[in-house]
Amino acid sequence: MKSNLFITFEGPEGAGKTTVLNIIIERLKQQNVDVLGTREPGGIEIAEKIREVILNPAHTAMDERTEALLYAAARSQHFFEKVEPALNMGKLVLCDRFIDSSLAYQGYARGIGIDEVLAINEFAIGKRMPDKTFYFDLEPAVGLARIHAHNEREVNRLDNESLLFHEHVRKGYYEVIKRYPDRIQIINADQPMEKVVEDAWAILSELLEK
């Protein structure tokens, strides 16, 4: 079985990334796979602190370039402190969001430009890219409704953006997928949770067997 793969979960708000990732990690652990689950922004102390600054709903004055730089700073620290050492130890790493979030949210939806945000990130982490990315596709209105209905986590500054912004995020992801069609695998997130899990599990199992 192949290990030390770096796999990222991407998609709009409420698409089910965190829920699916947690279920899959439990299954992998039951099969004795050496797996690390983590998230962005965050995953380690410094990056979690940066997360608090970025996502604080009171920080409405944050400039979009500041936002892009903060995400890249959190990514750099998280990648070199946690992700890369885990991969070097032979672990499978599953990460809830990574660079494609920056390309879709800051690059496309904020209007900074995908190439410009890519350049900031190349400074932060070099040319490192995930081995595979699962993109959970869902109408933003459905995802936002899930978050507001379930009330399981605090609504953050990005959630508070307009529906139009979140629709731009989805278009941004489509642009990113056009750039990296081999790396990014689309999963229909507008299905019952169990089916979404099975779709992701099937792709992952195939990858691990290669």
Q: Is 8 annotated as a binding residue?
A: no
Nearest CA-CA partner of 146 in 19, 23, 32: 19
Q: Is 143 annotated as a binding residue?
A: no
What is the rounded distance in angstroms from the CA atom of residue 64 to the CA atom of residue 174?
21
Tell whether residue 59 is a contact of ligand ATP (CB under 6 A).
no
Stretch near ligand ATP under the rule CB under 6 A, chosen from 30-38, 83-91, 102-110, 191-199:
191-199
- Quick note: the x/- pattern for ligand LXEULUCI over 25-64, rule CB under 6 A, is --------------xxx-----------------------
- Evaluated on CA atoms 20, 204, 189, 181, the torsion sign reads positive
Helices (H), the chain: 17-30, 45-55, 64-78, 84-88, 99-101, 114-125, 140-150, 163-179, 193-209
Tell whether residue 158 is a contact of ligand LXEULUCI (CB under 6 A).
yes
Q: Is 124 annotated as a binding residue?
A: no
Determine the Cα angle at 208 with ends 207 and 210, to 5°: 65
Q: How far is the CB of 49 from ligand LXEULUCI (least distance, A)?
A: 15
What is the rounded distance in angstroms from the CA atom of residue 31 to the CA atom of residue 20?
17
Left if phi > 0, otherwise alpha if psi is -120 to 50, otherwise beta: which for 39?
beta
Tell whether residue 41 is a contact of ligand ATP (CB under 6 A).
no
Nearer to ligand ATP, 123 or 174 (CB): 174
Stretch near ligand ATP under the rule CB under 6 A, chosen from 10-18, 105-113, 126-134, 175-183:
10-18
Longest dimension (CA), the chain: 48
Stretch near ligand ATP under the rule CB under 6 A, chosen from 7-15, 40-48, 62-70, 79-87:
7-15
Q: Is 18 annotated as a binding residue?
A: yes
Binding-site ranges for ligand LXEULUCI (CB under 6 A):
13, 39-41, 71, 97, 101-102, 105-106, 158
